[in-house]
Amino acid sequence: MEKQLLALLTVTLLTSAAYFMNGKDESLTLEGQFSSWKQQHGKRYSDYEEIHRFSVFASNLAQVMEHNQRFELGQETFTLGMNQFADLTPEEFQASYLTLKPRAPERKNIKSVSGLRFPDTVDWKDGLTVKNQGSCGSCWAFSAAAALEAGFHHHKKNKVNISEQEFVDCATAKLGYESEGCNGGWMDDAFDYTLNYGVTTEEEYPYKGVDQPCPSEFKKKYFIDAFVDVEPLSSDALHEAIAKTPVSVAIKADGILFQLYSSGIYSRTCTAKTIDDLNHGVLAVGYAKDSYTIKNSWGASWGEKGYMRLALIAAKEGQCGIHWVPSYPVL
């Protein structure tokens, strides 16, 4: 509480100074910024919650301003922004959005590094659409669906909009899977489900962001031939895989810096020493000499229009654990 009050005082002083120096432009006051932010993101609260959210917003704004000042001085490699999550504490954010259920997969189909040369840079973003999972803990379904969509688009020249909702509702315990819909899951479950049962399009079965009963049948289904688990803890193996196709990866994504990431190369420590540390599923769509590019499922207003660059580091688990459990579908 004391930390939030101090942050509130700091931002109030800074915005008040700007308010008086710029002809009393009301949009520069803290209240004005909060009001504009609410309108931009369609936020509405009860009177009691308004007080709490204003306090959290002020605390987060103080951190964003301090961090971005360091960026301007060359002391940081990425910027932060007041995105749609700016009214959440890190604890609230993690409870709602970071619900991946990590487990060591059976990994019967591991693709080991071959030693072949791979390009210096790869970028699969062209033609892909950034989606938004909302407050449902379905990152695993979105990561898998994104891998399927990218595979069909780039390798089959077929624009397919895969139904994440089918994974949420059907790749569950009823069919022998460990995934739990909006309570979290695992990308390999979605791939295995597609291999055995096929998956329909979002047009036929739209995303609702809630758990529903699995429908008995769909008109159209898309299948895969197999799916591959990439050799873990290997930068070369992941690079080789991404050079072939976008790859589903699990990462550790908690903390205010990840929550409010805006642009640049995310180089802060986010160590994932074990699989249990992983809490978010995304899609690796490319790499450069200094970073991986990941496609997220938090909408285009987060990060670099829905994407993030993760620094390449020496640790075998990779930045935020990206090397732990990569996998991809084979079409």
Q: Which residues are catalytic?
A: 139, 280, 296
Question: For residues 234 and 174, is the Cβ–Cβ distance under 8 A?
Answer: no
220-225 own/partner pairs: CB under 8 Å, 24+ apart? 221/197, 222/148, 222/152, 222/160, 222/162, 222/194, 222/198, 223/194, 223/195, 223/198, 224/148, 224/151, 224/191, 224/194, 224/195, 224/329, 224/330, 224/331, 225/195, 225/330, 225/331
Closest CA to 81 of 314, 302, 313: 302
Place of tokens 């089959």: 156
DSSP state for residue 255 in the 8-state scheme: S
Q: How many whole angstroms from its chain centre is CA 185?
A: 14
Question: For residues 328 and 260, is the Cβ–Cβ distance under 8 A?
Answer: no
Cα torsion for 214, 107, 315, 276, to the nearest 10°?
Answer: 50
Distance CA 152, CA 158 (A): 5
Q: Is 27 left (phi over 0), alpha (psi -120 to 50) or beta?
A: alpha
Pairing type for strands 261-266 and 226-230 reads unpaired
